Amino acid sequence: MRKVTCLGVCLAAVLGAVTYGAKQQVMILEGRLASLERSVSAQKEAAHLLKAEWAHLTSPARLEKLAQNHLNMAPMGGWQVISEPQMSTFLDHAAPHTSDMRYASAQDTPLLEGD
Amino acid sequence: MGPSSTYFPRSFSPKNAGLETRAGKAIEVARARLWMATIVFIFCLVAVFGRLVDLTLLRSGEDIDYLPKDQVFASGRADIVDKNGLLLATTLVTKSLYANAKKVQNPRAAAKKLVTLFPQLKENVVYSRLTSGKTFVWLIRHLTPKQQAKVLALGIPGIDFVRDYRRVYPQGNLVSHAVGFTDIDNKGVSGLEVTYDKRLRSDSAPLRLSIDTKVQHIVREELLKGIEEFGCSGASCCVMDIRTGELLALVSLPDFDPNAPTKAEEDALFNKVTLGIYELGSIMKVANTAMALESGKMHLGTRLDVSAPLRVGRFNITDYRANHGVINISEIFVYSSNKGSAKIALTLGAEHQKAFLKKIGLLDPPQIELPERGSPLVPKRWREDKVITISYGYGLSVSPFQAMGAIASMVRPWGKITPTLLAKDSCEPIQGERLVSEKTSRSLLHLMRFVVTHGTSRKADIPGYFVAGKTGTADLLINGRYNKERVAASFVGVFGPDITQPRYAMVLRLYDPQRLKKTYGFNTAGWNAAPVSGRVMERILTVEGILPKEEGKILEPFFQNVSFEKK
């Protein structure tokens, strides 16, 4: 009888200790979870701010100005676009005169004007 | 039982306790005290143990610092993005400054200090707030981190910061009229911010608009150049994907910065595309010609005599260029003859005209997602003089976007279309009810093409592409009189790779363009609205990567052998 009681008390003590340990573990984890969630939310806020800044920095007006000032570029004209059937004639005309395609302009290739 | 047991060993016998000696009494007292102390100690231990259980196992009163669940949608108002996902409106976290007036010790000095940091504050206002005795009074909303640091450096007791949210529009003026703006508490005040106020508050997914920022920028920039070039007081333009009805650009100038709407003038807040209604002038001839072709009583070759003078009240109707004599329906359109248009309308009658305009939707309020939406101003009595003037665009006022919608609905091969500001998932053409026959649709496109190749809109042509259009110049009504010197010049156009694939529709208006040397003293649309539109269309076509295909295809036999002189 005394043995059984002793065993019961021991078991209860062990179980109690295990439960207590588990509970502590959960508490620590919950604390970490909360702090992670807070940091995620802070990061999200920061990302959001950066997105807004990115949208501001990539606004077409700004990009156009930068391209004009630093790359010496201008909006494309209709004459700079040709359709596929015109391509072969364009290449035939352009190739003998200029070694570099970049210098072929509408002035060299009258076929681009008119329709 | 602690140290007491050493003083009172268990061998202490009860028989001695009853001794009526001084020592016995002292022992009695000590015993009673001992019991008292024991009880107190036990009570304390139980309390400590209970608290231990409470803290470690039950954990009552403990607050794990979780984020509130609604923090998932932290800003409280969803973003607005353009067709390509570029941010147009977002909500950022800021700090706002408030005071607990009960805790402010020296309100006079505090007010002085704050005013030196924020000159927009008035010292007596701040002072009265600081002395109001309330526990919460706003001092200033939405501080930048730098300003926040400066306020902290002042070290004023009783003022503090609170987390606040602010609507921000990273594109500034660019899309001001479509997106609109909110008040300081982030409630929609104008534009789509009002229409979708509830949606933006309840659903965190961004609201995707049909506006394409690239196209919007092109339109706005070319309009600004146009205003500069022709000395206009304002301008407006919208561009629609004719397949889906998505409005890719909606610009009304002057515009405003939605980040600081209170600084804007009234004129800048006014949306000239959807709210303003105007007499559109010759643009209405598209509808008038469609009415003629649909009536069954006339066809493109029907000849009308326009040589006789035509009067409305005291006024003689004149044609912009010399009188034409006998001309057919197609010439009336391409040469933009007022008298010819009036003749068509008079032949068909008031009821017919009214019914046709109703059918194409020009007499009813338009549909658009904006609260700024102007209903047409329709004459109360549809008498003969109205029949005549409406045929060439006076006496009926509609918003430019509504006119564009009606014209696009007639000329597109897929029937009626309703312009929208929300993005569609597919670019498949939307099929709608047919307003006019396919033959009339094609004829209108051809006629509008001839206006660009041979008529008044030649400055809008882009070699290689299909550009069709119609200009309109309307005298402005100033103090109840039409003033020939003050006009609004409009262009309505349809453009794309070729006539079988119209891709975009647009309407552009310049307000009060000046007569200039380089326009040979003209202020009509062909000299200002047409070239500005041409530049807009050219840049849109190239940016969108559309290849030119226009081969001058003739889809309607009538136009095979027709020739228009370049006037």
Asked if the C-beta of B221 comes within 8 angstroms of chain A's C-beta atoms, the answer is yes
Secondary structure in 3-state letters for B318-353: CCCCCCCCEEEHHHHHHCCCHHHHHHHHHHHCHHHH
Nearest to A78 among B92, B172, B542 (CB): B542
Question: What architecture is domain B216-559?
Answer: 3-Layer(aba) Sandwich (3.40)
ipTM, two decimals, is: 0.71
- Residue B422 DSSP SS3: strand
Distances (CA, A) of B492 to B18, B286, B305, B407, B515: 122, 10, 28, 8, 21
Determine, for residues B92 and A84 on separate chains, whether the beta-carbon distance falls below 8 Å.
no
Q: Is the pLDDT of residue B479 over 70?
A: yes
Determine, for residues A38 and B65 on separate chains, whether the beta-carbon distance falls below 8 Å.
yes
Bridge partners of B95? Answer: B143, B163
* Nearest residue of chain A to residue B462 (CA atoms): A78
Nearest to A23 among B57, B170, B552 (CB): B57
B440-449, pLDDT tens digit by residue?
999 999 999 9
pLDDT of residue B409: 95
Asked if the C-beta of B214 comes within 8 angstroms of chain A's C-beta atoms, the answer is yes
pLDDT of residue A109: 42
Q: Is the pLDDT of residue B11 over 80?
A: no
Q: Provide the CA B293 distance to its chain's centre, in angstroms.
A: 37
pLDDT of residue B203: 86
Q: Is the pLDDT of residue B70 over 70?
A: no
Determine, for residues B92 and A58 on separate chains, whether the beta-carbon distance falls below 8 Å.
no
Interface of A with B (CB under 8 A): 19-20, 23-24, 27, 30-31, 34-35, 37-38, 41, 44-45, 48-49, 51-56, 58-61, 64, 75-84, 112-115
Asked if the C-beta of B175 comes within 8 angstroms of chain A's C-beta atoms, the answer is no
pLDDT of residue B239: 96
Q: Is the pLDDT of residue B140 over 60?
A: yes
Q: Is the pLDDT of residue B376 over 90?
A: yes
The C-alpha of B157 sits at a distance from chain A's nearest C-alpha, in angstroms, of 28
Out of A101-115, B42-56, B352-366, which region has the weakest mean confidence (pLDDT)?
Answer: A101-115
Determine, for residues A56 and B541 on separate chains, whether the beta-carbon distance falls below 8 Å.
no
Residue B161 main-chain phi, psi, to 5 deg:
-105, 155
Residue among B187, B191, B169 nearest B273 (CA): B191
B148-186, pLDDT tens digit by residue?
888 889 888 888 888 888 899 999 999 999 999 999 888
pLDDT of residue B16: 53
Q: B80-208, superfamily in CATH?
A: Penicillin-binding protein 2a (Domain 2) (3.90.1310.10)
Determine, for residues A112 and B463 on separate chains, whether the beta-carbon distance falls below 8 Å.
yes
Instruction: Tell me the whole-structure pTM to 2 decimals.
Output: 0.80
pLDDT of residue B390: 93
Contacts of A68 in chain B (CB under 8 A): none
Question: Token digits for B199?
Answer: 């949606």
Contacts of A111 in chain B (CB under 8 A): none
The C-alpha of A61 sits at a distance from chain B's nearest C-alpha, in angstroms, of 7
Determine, for residues A37 and B463 on separate chains, whether the beta-carbon distance falls below 8 Å.
no
Q: Give the mean pLDDT of B135-156.
A: 86
Confidence bin at B65 (pLDDT 50/70/90): low
The C-alpha of B153 sits at a distance from chain A's nearest C-alpha, in angstroms, of 24
Asked if the C-beta of B29 comes within 8 angstroms of chain A's C-beta atoms, the answer is no
Chain B from 436 to 465: CB within 8 A of any A CB: 462-465
- Helix ranges (H only) for B54-168 are 107-117, 123-130, 145-154
Residue among B334, B335, B305 nearest B319 (CA): B335
pLDDT of residue B14: 55
* Nearest residue of chain B to residue A81 (CA atoms): B547
Asked if the C-beta of B544 comes within 8 angstroms of chain A's C-beta atoms, the answer is no
Determine, for residues A24 and B56 on separate chains, whether the beta-carbon distance falls below 8 Å.
yes
B188-209, pLDDT tens digit by residue?
999 999 999 999 988 889 999 9
Determine, for residues B547 and A82 on separate chains, whether the beta-carbon distance falls below 8 Å.
yes
Q: Give the mean pLDDT of B285-301.
A: 92
B409-432, pLDDT tens digit by residue?
999 999 999 999 999 998 899 999
Nearest to B462 among A23, A78, A83 (CB): A78
Contacts of B551 in chain A (CB under 8 A): 115
* Nearest residue of chain A to residue B497 (CA atoms): A83
Is the backbone of residue B91 left (phi > 0), alpha (psi -120 to 50) or beta? Answer: beta
The boundaries of every CATH 3.40.710.10 domain in chain B are: 216-559
Which residues lie closer than 8 Å to B259 by C-beta, 6 or more apart? B168, B169, B172, B181
The boundaries of every CATH 3.90.1310.10 domain in chain B are: 80-208
Confidence bin at B72 (pLDDT 50/70/90): very low
Report the distance separating Cα B565 and Cα B35, nearest Å. 126
pLDDT of residue B552: 74
Secondary structure in 3-state letters for chain A: CHHHHHHHHHHHHHHHHHHHHHHHHHHHHHHHHHHHHHHHHHHHHHHHHHHHHHHHHCCHHHHHHHHHHHCCCCCCCHHHCCCHHHHHHHHHHHHHHCCCHHHCCCCCCHHHCCC
B216-245, pLDDT tens digit by residue?
999 999 999 999 999 999 999 999 999 999
Contacts of B549 in chain A (CB under 8 A): 83
Q: What is the DSSP letter of B56?
A: I
The C-alpha of A108 sits at a distance from chain B's nearest C-alpha, in angstroms, of 16
Mean pLDDT of chain B: 87
Asked if the C-beta of B90 comes within 8 angstroms of chain A's C-beta atoms, the answer is yes
Asked if the C-beta of B74 comes within 8 angstroms of chain A's C-beta atoms, the answer is yes
Asked if the C-beta of B434 comes within 8 angstroms of chain A's C-beta atoms, the answer is no
pLDDT of residue B323: 59
Q: Give the mean pLDDT of B39-58.
A: 88
The segments of chain A whose pLDDT lies below 70 read 1, 93-115
